Amino acid sequence: MGVTSVLREDHVRVVTMDYPPVNALPVQGWYDVAAALDEASADRATHVVVLRAEGRGFNAGVDIKEMQATSGFDALIGANKGCFAAFKAVYECAVPVVAAVQGFCLGGGVGLVGNADCIVASDDAYFGVPEVDRGALGAATHLARMVPPHLMRTLYFTGRHIRAAELVPHGSVLEVVGRDALDDAALAVAGEIAAKDTRVIRAAKEALNGIDPVDVNKSYRFEQGFTMELNLAGVADELRDDFVRTSGA
């Protein structure tokens, strides 16, 4: 259980998240994801990263139960900083990041995937940002990289999910395959990239980040400010308690 990182002989580094039962990452988990991506950046033998997960779904966001079981604001602040570090590390990874998404990809999962360079998904994959139901804001920055503006707002305000297959026409998901073919599909596109001259690919990644119209780090940090306001107002704590109670904790 946790985050593992394995460098294959073809220069593809596979980073795997495994936090049963639903891959809701604890505070340390987000920092571990960031550390794995930072390691990939520093390792010249790594030409591309595949970010994947074990289990029913790719990522269920932050571990709200951990947050509500912790007194004070340490877990809340830790989750905020940890998510920021992980999303930033994916975006700023010196090599391209291919996300392999199965099942649910929610909240912080969208933060990771939205900052990736390529998304491959299984046919049961879906995405959503339920933050408003938890008294928080965040990941709109990353959802906006996956869908057009008005659709992003509708999904954000309603908390609705969108299937991976619906994102293929938008160009944000490269392809949708059966779950048993997901790893192979992600490794196939990663292998294409890994076969290129890594010096050129690393320069290309930096160049493409440099021409992005939105600074994703500042944009997400701005969102987080409103999350802190909602926490100080007591709204977020109330809604998180409701979530823990209704989820059977």
Total number of domains in the chain: 1
- Whose structure tokens read 């990874």? 93
Q: Give the structural domain span for 26.
A: 2-183+195-246
**What confidence score (pLDDT) does residue 74 get?**
85
Per-residue pLDDT of 128-163, as tens digits, reads 999 999 888 999 999 999 999 999 999 999 999 999
pTM: 0.94
Going by the DSSP 8-state scheme, the letter that residue 73 receives in this structure is T
Collect the ranges in the chain with pLDDT lower than 70.
Answer: 248-249
CA distances from 56 to 95, 124, 125, 126 (A): 28, 10, 10, 12
By three-state DSSP, how is residue 59 classified?
strand
Non-local CB neighbours of 185 within 8 Å, separated by 6+ positions: 100, 120, 175, 177
**What confidence score (pLDDT) does residue 249 get?**
44
Q: Which of 10, 1, 6, 4 is nearest to 187 (CA)?
A: 10
Burial 151-190 (b: 16+ CB within 10 A, else e): bbeebbeeeeebebebbeeeebbbbbbeeeebbebbbebb
User: Does residue 190 form part of some domain?
Assistant: no
CA distances from 172 to 71, 113, 138, 144 (A): 39, 10, 19, 10
- Single-letter residue type at 194: A
User: Does residue 51 form part of some domain?
Assistant: yes
- Single-letter residue type at 19: Y
Angstrom distance (rounded) from CA 207 to CA 210: 5
User: Does residue 189 form part of some domain?
Assistant: no
Q: What is the CATH number of the domain that holds 148?
A: 3.90.226.10
**What confidence score (pLDDT) does residue 99 get?**
99
User: Does residue 97 form part of some domain?
Assistant: yes
Pseudo-torsion of CA 219, 225, 227, 228, nearest 10°? 160
**What confidence score (pLDDT) does residue 248 get?**
59
User: Does residue 76 form part of some domain?
Assistant: yes
